[in-house]
Amino acid sequence: MAEILSQLPSEYLMEHSPQAGAALRELRDALVSSGPLDRRTCELIVIAGLATEGFEDSFKVHARRLIALGATPEEMKHAVAVTLGASSVLFQVARAITWIDELSEAAPPDSDPSDARSTADQ
């Protein structure tokens, strides 16, 4: 069973070792910027992986970034759905779809893409 954390995993690392936390952030940013995929595509991949693992809080952090980057709920649901049968089961996909619906209902209509923080903030 997954343990519930009171803050994001990267925040625990930052508190324990600010240097290691900064290094993790730099690594994640380098991974996103070093390849041919744009930030939005990378974030879609990240939420698909987080949905598969059932990490709701981290999933929602990255889904909010996607909303700020202009992604639609349908795009996010598609990214999650394509994991079905490959790395996830129907329950995981359905649960992630409910998370997206929760965010879609709570999201302001015009999100600012500049609000999207580093991919390491999970």
- What was the pLDDT predicted at 2? 53
**14 occurs within a structural domain:** no
- Into how many domains does the chain fold? 1
**17 occurs within a structural domain:** no
**4 occurs within a structural domain:** no
Domain extent at residue 43: 39-115
For 54: left if phi > 0, alpha if psi spans -120 to 50, otherwise beta; the answer is left
- What was the pLDDT predicted at 63? 97
**51 occurs within a structural domain:** yes
What is the Cα–Cα distance from 105 to 69, expressed in whole angstroms?
A: 17
* pLDDT tens series, the chain, 122 aa: 456 778 888 899 999 999 999 999 999 999 999 999 999 999 999 999 999 999 999 999 999 999 999 999 999 999 999 999 888 889 999 999 999 999 989 866 555 544 445 555 55
8, 61 in Cβ contact below 8 A?
yes
**Which pTM value belongs to this model?**
0.77
- What was the pLDDT predicted at 112? 52
Q: CATH number, domain at 68?
A: 1.20.1290.10
**61 occurs within a structural domain:** yes
